[in-house]
Structures are given as C-alpha cells and as structure tokens.
Amino acid sequence: MLDFSTLPSVSIANLVLNFAVALVLSLNVSWYYEHYGQSLSNRRKFAKMLPVLTMTTTLVITIVKSSLALSLGLVGALSIVRFRTAIKEPEELMFLFIAITIGLGVGADQRWPTVVGVLILLGYMAVRMLLSRKPAASNLYLNIAVDDSAEQRSLFQQVNARLLTHISTLDFRRIDAHEGLLQLTYFLSCDDPQTLNDLIDDLKQHFPIREISFIQQERMLGG
C-alpha cells in the first residue's frame, strides 16, 4: 500500500544545480526572443518573464517528481488556474512552451538532454531566420490632401499618374472631397527612402498640395 504520509527529501545541492542550469538556458532563450523575435508586443518585457517561469517550473517538478500525492495535488491546483490576459501571438506561446519545457526537463534531472535539445532548437530557429531574411520593405499608407482646383476626376487621375511614375505597386483605398479639398489615401510598398523624397517633391511641384503624410504599418512601439 502506498504511503502518502512520508515525503521524500529534496537534495538542496541538486536543486541549486537544477536552478543554475535552468537559469542559464532560459536567459539564452529570453535573449534570443528579445533580439530576434517577430512579435509586435513589447518583447523586452515579455522576455524578462521567461527565466522566472522556467525556474518556477523547475522548482515544482523537483518537489513533486517523486511523490504521487504531490503530483495529484499539482493536477488539482493547475485545474483552477486561469490566465487573466490571453496570449494573442503564436510566437509568445511558442517561447512560453520552450521555457516550461526547460523547467520540466531540468526539474526531472534530465539536464544534458535538455541542454542539447534547447541548443538544437535555437540553432534551427537562427538558421531558418538567416535563410528567410529579406530586405525589409516599407508598407505605407499615403495620405494626400490637395486643393481641388480642377475637376475631381481629372485631378484624381493626374495624381495617380504621378504616383505610378515612382511606385510600381499602388493600391487605392479612399477618396474624400470636402469644401474644395480632395483627400486621397493609398497603400503602397517602397523600400527606398530616396524614392519617397522624389515622390513628395514631384507631387508638390505639380499639384497644390496642402498635406502629405506616410504611416508605416508593420512596426509598433516596443517591438
């Protein structure tokens, strides 16, 4: 009959060693995520959580791995845990799983398999990133406000013609006309800042421009 009243002792030296290995591995993972992740959220803030999550998992597994009673208690405790903030990006979820996996492996005293596995995983992600790296193209929204001194259709066609002399890919999105002001919105792709400068100068030279603005789409604060 199983005896649930006696708990096996945990070696402090073994726990410290597990913590050290988990910390080193999780710091490498968090550094990789912070510098090379593609998430639009604040990667630096998220990366700081990964070592804490890894060592917490290591501690839990180290304590419960040799006790059936504690293992059953852990299952019951985890069944009532709820996250207040949903994980919105798959990359964040992937790195959370990596951090938890490190904690599980090290906590179960599988240090070398965990080290080798994490190194292979990070190496694979680094190689994949290098092979898929392409010149960063700027996806921009272009807003043009111009005095409608001519017929609206004629002015619209003239602006389109001038834009196509500088931009090969142009997607018209919106047109607004109000009290002699014509406002045009385009979505375009351009990876050369000089092209944008030439485009602005050309538009100002040929049309009575009131305002020109560009809004970049693929980057957010904290990314």
Q: Within its chain, how far is the Cα of 3 from the centroid?
A: 48
Instruction: Give the sign of the dihedral formed by CA 174, CA 199, CA 182, CA 145.
Output: positive
Asked if residue 1 belongs to a domain, the reply is no
pLDDT for res 116: 95
**Interval 113-131 mean pLDDT:** 91
Looking at residues 173-183, what average pLDDT do you find?
81
Q: Are residues 128 and 159 in the same domain?
A: no
Identify whether residues 177 and 145 lie together within a single domain.
Answer: yes
> Does the pLDDT value for residue 185 go beyond 80?
yes
88/198 same-domain check:
no
Residue 130's pLDDT is what?
Answer: 84
Q: Return the amino acid letter for 135.
A: P
- Picking from 87, 112, 88, 91, the residue whose alpha carbon sits closest to that of residue 102 is 112
Q: Is 165 within the bounds of a domain?
A: yes
The residue among 149, 150, 154, 144 whose CA lies nearest residue 203 is: 144
Nearest to 158 by CA among 179, 193, 188, 182: 182
Give the pair of three-digit tokens for residue 146: 């111009």
Q: Are residues 153 and 186 in the same domain?
A: yes
In angstroms, the Cα distances linking 223 to 34, 43, 45, 186 are: 9, 6, 10, 25
Q: Examine the fold and report which residue of 132, 159, 187 is the final residue of a domain before the chain moves on.
A: 132
- pLDDT (0 to 100) of residue 200: 85
- The answer to whether 54 and 103 are in contact (CB under 8 A) is yes
194 vs 39, which has greater pLDDT? 194
For tokens 């968090």, name the residue: 30
Both tokens of 172, joined, read: 């018209």
Which structure tokens are listed for 35?
Answer: 């510098």
Report if residue 7 sits inside a domain.
Answer: no
Q: Looking at the domain assignment, is residue 5 inside a domain?
A: no
Query: Does pTM surpass 0.85?
Result: no
Domain C-terminal end among 102, 132, 162? 132
Q: What six digits make up the tokens of 142?
A: 């272009």
**21 and 117 fall within a common domain:** yes
Write down the pLDDT at residue 182: 82
- Full strand arrangement of the beta sheet holding 181-190: 170-178, 181-190, 138-147, 209-216
> Are 126 and 21 found together in one domain?
yes
